[in-house]
Structure 1
């Protein structure tokens, strides 16, 4: 007998809730200790920020880490430190959050969108190379959902063309490529600590690097242009106050202690869910090969084929899956270049050439992902048990059975 879908009043397949963030009295006590100390600011009130920066750098295997107010600013710091000038081009993927590209606009540079790999939804190395011009100065790669980009190919391209590589690792805390933490492979790695992220303090960001000069510049930009050894009211670079607070820092230090175990759990659940969903016609998990030694699964993504679900649209399928209790989302509605910001060239900056026209951009893989293919399961759900992954797959099968029964 056909099961009634939850969206139509039937029982949910998944009854469990998946809380986020996860915390206990350690976090509460750490923040309370800072509040009671009366030393809340940075850098003149205590050393909690510096302590966390050192912890995170060690965790990532990098030489330096510099905190800042969010993951958008961290990209801006990285771009400026990498030496981009007004009018320079920066290659970016179109399937990502807006700030990967808008940070380029904020630096008076030109985002150049190149398409993604249809099997990973990460920026395609071949598309990168074909987009390079004499004005190209940097590449921002996004390890989307926590799945590592093809960093060997990308770093080879960057070396041959003398380009900087910025890793947008906002989804990739603790993820690895060939055993190396993401964010530590390019010139700069950028992370977000926004409330949905795998490592969070509600807001915040950080950049990591092994380069002494890049570190000095990003540290200065984060701290109103001051330089190490300089006077408080001496300002050498066009920075701003992008510092985080002591309360955020101690919260992050506590949360960092949880990250390795949480990432291992997400990674194991993701591999298991791949097996389960691969057996369902019309559902294809994104490809991860042997180079992906750890996936952070900030987003678990699968490709949806409506033809195996009675022609049910991706939007309706995602709504049904959510109603069954699976924490999921239908993904971005369209690639970044179709956002009004780019279609209308509402840039408020002076260095974008008049001949730049985002209305003519066409990245077919990204457009297909947005329109009909990509469905996301959110990171907190990936912290469940194996039986939860089984329930997620059962929810997909339940919807498929209902749709086929209606034909």
Structure 2
């Protein structure tokens, strides 16, 4: 039976296979008798990849400092505000706002834009479910756009055909930490007078033409969930160069109230909720940020080296980076597996063989537009009241994404970010494992 993993399921499984050595550990040679491990040979990587998250006394001190201060929430503390200033500086934006999760960041942004029933939000079909959820929480209609199969990103050439009179916002995602085609999206947003929201939840420190992602649209959304390249277990941030907009976001995430402390006045706007970041989270993030630049550079360097190795293997196609990409975040290292280059060996058997080599991997996201959780929206009583049965049926038919179907059902393979925090020899072992599998693909296929 084929097993599908979402990103967080894979993280749990990969942690078991991947816990153990420190960043920069020395190269350990392995005995290679030529056979893949799944056929009884030696593993390509007998030792483990780097643990995640990485922490030391810096994080311990950050927690204790907040604990002893007695000021644990942002409304009576100063740590979160300090983090927001440092994060804005790091990303080269005028403002940032800490919130309780990446989902909260997106939800706050849509709330500040007053997205609601009858509105449509354009998004990729290849993304984590949170991108969909924030639109549905506002009773807006998520409009899926097919995937550029070579880059794994939303296909910007198909966006304009998805725009209609009810389109309220463009919300593409920097999937895996690689930038989507930002220049093209900026042109589309300007042409149709639509706000561009960057879902950058996986893209800490990624760059487009030398500028950090999250600084191009009206706002960017980042996640600090425990698997992320910058993390505090759960948390998020909004970035923007628009002072009025970030103020509206602050009001929304603070029960509709303005200022920096709890207000019992009339507030601002018409809606709000509590999505505040705690002082504990803010200080952990400041501690984690002390390593962020170095870790980002290591991932980018190792990913580019790994790509150079995998480009030499017929049947392996690393995800394409768009021309404007000057740095990838590599929260995910994504590549296409083309079974024709491996004698017809199925992707499932390839993944199983690669895992046996000590290389954690998964097939990644599935077909969200066909998932029962999503298609059930067409029968949701609230959506039927708002949009009507005819529009919801049209919506189901509109959500066909053939390129994404092909990518997710046959080709996509993921590695996670912590696998890129080791040294060059780790990348050599990944490539060696794939080469062994290719050499013995016929025998593996017969298992």
Same fold (TM over 0.5): yes
Task: Using the TM superposition, give the Cα deviation of residue 230 of structure 1 relative to its aligned residue in structure 2, in angstroms.
Answer: 8.1
Whole-Å separation in 1 of the counterparts to 2:351 and 2:403: 20
Counterpart of 1:376 in 2: which secondary structure?
Answer: strand
Unaligned runs of 5+ in 2: 1-31
Q: Deviations over 1:343-397 (max 9, x none)?
A: 1216564434432235422111111111011100100001111111011000111
Which residue is 1:243 aligned to?
Answer: 276
Which residue is 1:400 aligned to?
Answer: 438
Whole-Å separation in 1 of the counterparts to 2:195 and 2:352: 41
Whole-Å separation in 1 of the counterparts to 2:345 and 2:68: 56
Whole-Å separation in 2 of the counterparts to 1:61 and 1:37: 30
Whole-Å separation in 1 of the counterparts to 2:232 and 2:260: 30
Which residue is 2:422 aligned to?
Answer: 384
Which residue is 2:109 aligned to?
Answer: 78
Which residue is 1:211 aligned to?
Answer: 242
Whole-Å separation in 2 of the counterparts to 1:139 and 1:50: 29
Which residue is 2:205 aligned to?
Answer: 174
Q: Pick from 165, 190, 193: which aligns with 2:221? A: 190
Q: Deviations over 1:137-184 (max 9, x none)?
A: 111111111111111110110011011111010110000000110011
Which residue is 1:58 aligned to?
Answer: 89
Whole-Å separation in 2 of the counterparts to 1:359 and 1:3: 50
Which residue is 1:131 aligned to?
Answer: 162
| Distance verdict in 2 for CA 1:47–1:317, change over 3 Å | same
1:39 and 2:71 correspond: yes
Counterpart of 2:336 in 1: which secondary structure?
Answer: strand
Q: Contact between 2:74 and 2:81, CA under 8 Å: does it hold in 1? A: no
Unaligned runs of 5+ in 1: none
Which residue is 1:110 aligned to?
Answer: 141
Q: Contact between 1:306 and 1:313, CA under 8 Å: does it hold in 2? A: yes
| Distance verdict in 2 for CA 1:352–1:198, change over 3 Å | farther
Query: TM-score, with normalisation over the residues of structure 1?
Result: 0.95
Judge which range, 338-347 or 93-102, deviates more.
338-347
Task: Using the TM superposition, give the Cα deviation of residue 7 of structure 1 relative to its aligned residue in structure 2, in angstroms.
Answer: 3.5
Counterpart of 2:66 in 1: which secondary structure?
Answer: helix
Which residue is 1:283 aligned to?
Answer: 316
| Distance verdict in 2 for CA 1:256–1:348, change over 3 Å | farther
| Distance verdict in 2 for CA 1:13–1:130, change over 3 Å | same
Task: Using the TM superposition, give the Cα deviation of residue 399 of structure 1 relative to its aligned residue in structure 2, in angstroms.
Answer: 1.1
Which residue is 1:165 aligned to?
Answer: 196
Q: Contact between 1:105 and 1:347, CA under 8 Å: does it hold in 2? A: no
Q: Contact between 2:39 and 2:444, CA under 8 Å: does it hold in 1? A: no
Task: Using the TM superposition, give the Cα deviation of residue 191 of structure 1 relative to its aligned residue in structure 2, in angstroms.
Answer: 0.5
* 4+ residue runs over 6 A deviation: none
Which residue is 1:26 aligned to?
Answer: 58
Counterpart of 2:97 in 1: which secondary structure?
Answer: strand
| Distance verdict in 2 for CA 1:406–1:31, change over 3 Å | closer
RMSD, aligned CA: 1.8
Whole-Å separation in 1 of the counterparts to 2:301 and 2:323: 15
